[in-house]
Structures are given as structure tokens and as C-alpha cells.
Structure 1
Amino acid sequence: MENSHETPRALSDLLTELKNRFEGQDVRMSDILEGFHERGFGFFLLLMGLFCIIPIPTFGLKSLVCLPMGLLTLQQALGFHTLWMPDIIRRKVVRKDIFEAFMDHAFKWTAKLETIAKPRYAHMTQGIFSYLIGITGTLMVACIIMPLPLTNTVPAIGVILMSVGVLVRDGLAVLIGMIVGTLWSLAWFAAFFYLGAKGLEMMIPAVMTAFQ
């Protein structure tokens, strides 16, 4: 987590710093981890959440993003203060064309987020809420990784709202992210255990039609 006494930086500033550092080159996960470790869990959860929600198919399998995101949320739930990733993740490379496409979309998302996020209820972005963010975030990641439609977007939004809340000290964003992402994830888990995989396959077309 970032130092609670520091003035929160604009989300666009953080992304600009990331883009300028790695523009025009392939990017290793280890480069991002080592270059931005001082930003803490909030910054990395924001990046992972944006990866999950932005519709760029060349990003690859969900597991490429969900595994490090799950490790981040689990470490936060356990009260870790430093980020750790296994070598197999640290060696992963994001091609420069994918990185640039991601950054273009990320800037559009953060521009919208910056219009609504602001410092308020700062006590809900640290202390015991840090553990709650980790616990609920782990639940959301478990939902995101489910190989079914509609399981990733809403939980990813929940993760993004929580991470934005941490970065700009917006406790309301944290709370909304927790509630929305957790309720959606629990609903899918309940449906899965009650209906089973076959039942979900039958239910999904009706749900998708309702959202059209």
C-alpha cells in the first residue's frame, strides 16, 4: 500500500509514467514489478483489472492475468507489505504492440474514472479495509477465472474501483467496488453450485439476452 501521508497522484500521471518508461519495447512483468513496486498493491491491481476488462483478445488466456492478480489480492489479504511474484510470472513478456494497445484503452478508462474519483472517507482505504480489499478481491479473481461468459467484467470493475479508491484515497469507490464485485461473484458461485455446469450453460443465453 502507498504511504497514507503522501498526496495521491492522478491516475493518468501513473499511467503516463508507465508508458514513458516502456514505450516502444517489449515489457517483462519483472520490469513493471521492479520499476513500480513503490506504488503498492493498488497500482498493480488497477493494471490487472484493466487487463481483464479491456476487450483485446491478443492478451491471451485469463490465467496469464488472473494468476498474478490472485497472488496480489491473496498477499494483501494476508497483510503483506511487499509484492512477491514467482519467476514463471516475472519472466512473462508483453509484446510492445499489445502493451501500446492496452495503454491506449487504459487512458480512456482512467480519464472517466478521474472525473468521479476524489479523496473522501480515506479511512476506508487503509487499515482493516486493506485486508477486506484483499479478501473480496481474491473472491472476484476466482469469479473472473471461471470459463463462462459474464463472469469477468463486473468483478473486474469491482477490482478497478477498489484499486482506484486506494490510489486516490476514495473510500466510497472502495466500498462500491467491494459490494458490486462481491455480490456478482457470490451470485455466480451460488448458481454454479446449485445448477451445476449444465444448468449454467442453459441459463447463460437467457442472461446474455437480458443484457442486450
Structure 2
Amino acid sequence: MSEASYPGSDASEGLVARLVHIGETAPEDGISLGEFIEALGERAFGVMLFALAIPVTIPFLYVIPQIVSVPMAALAFQMAAGRNEPWFPEKFRARQMTRDGLVRMGRTASKWFGWMERLARPRLLFLSGHIGERVVGAVFCLFCVSILTPLPLTNSTPGIAVAIGSLGLITRDGLLILLGLLLGIVWIAILVIGGPALIYALIEWGRGIVSGG
């Protein structure tokens, strides 16, 4: 399937609704990353980072997080460098995304971020301006390094931070941008200061709470 032939959703929809639509209308053999970008209907950094961050936030979803993590880092670097429009090399655009993964992506976006998108509103606008976007991009680069680190939770937590911050960029909601940055920075601090031992301790603590022990 060529990128031009993929039936993208109406760009007037909210971004979460577009992600749901892409998953529901994707062919059985999935679509390429390039086709996915075309279906989003926009070239803004925030839109593309939000969309690519969603599968990273999903626990136990494999393949797609590995496909999108490097392009996420490339986008964050381009933001920090002050580019006006995202660019991907063809080898990234050719990467295949499965239909099941796309459907889970849409469901996750709707469940966890749909309400946030509805509540978002323009505020603290300096954070979503050109200089603010470059600063956010530089911090996102750190989050993407954490995503690429092969330790438990190093995918989901910074992925959520990027998703929240990117949604703030899309809606020009500086409060969401700050929330995303704070979450990711706290996680990076835990990763740097505590290292793997602290991460595993947190996992065991969480399991104890769930099991009632």
C-alpha cells in the first residue's frame, strides 16, 4: 500500500480520535511508519511525538515500542535543534507497524489521554513558543535515552512523560508541558541516583501493594 492510498482520518478530529480511527481502519498486515505519519494529517512535532509515545506507554506491548523509540529520539533532537518541520529518513518510514499494535495504541490513547485532551486549554503560552519548544525538545532527548535503556519501567514512565508534554505542545497548554517534564525529570533522577537496584525495589514494592502483602 502506498502512503498516498492510506485512508487517514479527518484532521479536524481530536488527535486521540484520529489514533483510534487509524487503528480501526488499518489493513490486516498493518501499515508502515510513513503511512502512519501520513494518516495523522499533520507535521507538527507535538502531534508526531504524542502518537509515537503512546505505544511506549503500554506495558508488555512489544515490537512497536522498539520501532518508534529511535524516531522519537530523532524528533526530539530536531525540536532541540530548532527545525520548523519534522523529517524522517526512508529507513524509518519503511518500518512496519502491526494492526493489533495500532488498535491497542488507539485504545490506550482514548482511555488514558482522551480526558486530558478534552480538559487542555491554552495557558503559559511561552512554554509552547519557539524557544520553549527547543527547551522541551532537549529535555525529551533525555527521556528518549531512558526509553532506550533496557531496564523495567524505563519505557513506560518516560513514554507517559513525553505523551503528556507533547499533548501540551499540541494544545498549547503549558501546564501539561510542565507536568510531562516534571514526571520525566523525576524518573531520570531516580534512574541516575538509585540505578537498577532502586527500580527493582520499586517494582517489588508495587507488587506487594497489589498482592496485599
Pairwise TM-score range, normalised by the shorter structure:
0.7 to 0.9
Structure 1 gap ranges (5+)? 1-7, 193-199
Alignment CA distance shift 1:176-1:60 (3 Å): same
| Conserved? CA contact 1:10–1:168, under 8 Å | no
How many Å apart are 1:41 and its aligned residue? 0.6
* Pairing partner for 1:205 from 177, 182, 200: 200
- Distance in 1 separating the partners of 2:54 and 2:114: 13
How many Å apart are 1:130 and its aligned residue? 0.5
Alignment CA distance shift 1:13-1:68 (3 Å): same
How many Å apart are 1:115 and its aligned residue? 4.5
* Pairing partner for 1:86 from 56, 75, 89: 89
Q: Deviations over 1:153-195 (max 9, x none)?
A: 2211210111110111101110121122123113313434xxx
* Pairing partner for 1:101 from 90, 100, 104: 104
| Conserved? CA contact 1:9–1:168, under 8 Å | no
Matches within 5 A, 1:99-178: 99-178=102-181
- Distance in 1 separating the partners of 2:67 and 2:88: 13
The match for 2:45 is 41
The match for 1:30 is 34
The match for 1:4 is none
The one-letter amino acid of 1:49's match is: A
Alignment CA distance shift 1:114-1:24 (3 Å): same
- Distance in 2 separating the partners of 1:39 and 1:86: 15
User: Does residue 194 of structure 2 align to residue 191 of structure 1?
Assistant: yes
Alignment CA distance shift 1:19-1:152 (3 Å): closer
* TM-score normalised according to structure 1 size: 0.80
- Distance in 1 separating the partners of 2:72 and 2:135: 15
Alignment CA distance shift 1:205-1:184 (3 Å): closer
* TM-score normalised according to structure 2 size: 0.80
Q: Deviations over 1:72-101 (max 9, x none)?
A: 101100011122112221111112232223
- Distance in 1 separating the partners of 2:20 and 2:100: 17
Matches within 5 A, 1:53-72: 53-57=57-61, 59-60=62-63, 62-72=65-75
Alignment CA distance shift 1:61-1:81 (3 Å): same
Q: Deviations over 1:124-145 (max 9, x none)?
A: 2112110111001010010111
Alignment CA distance shift 1:183-1:205 (3 Å): closer
| Conserved? CA contact 2:125–2:174, under 8 Å | yes
The one-letter amino acid of 2:75's match is: L
How many Å apart are 1:28 and its aligned residue? 1.0
| Conserved? CA contact 1:119–1:168, under 8 Å | yes
Alignment CA distance shift 1:159-1:66 (3 Å): same
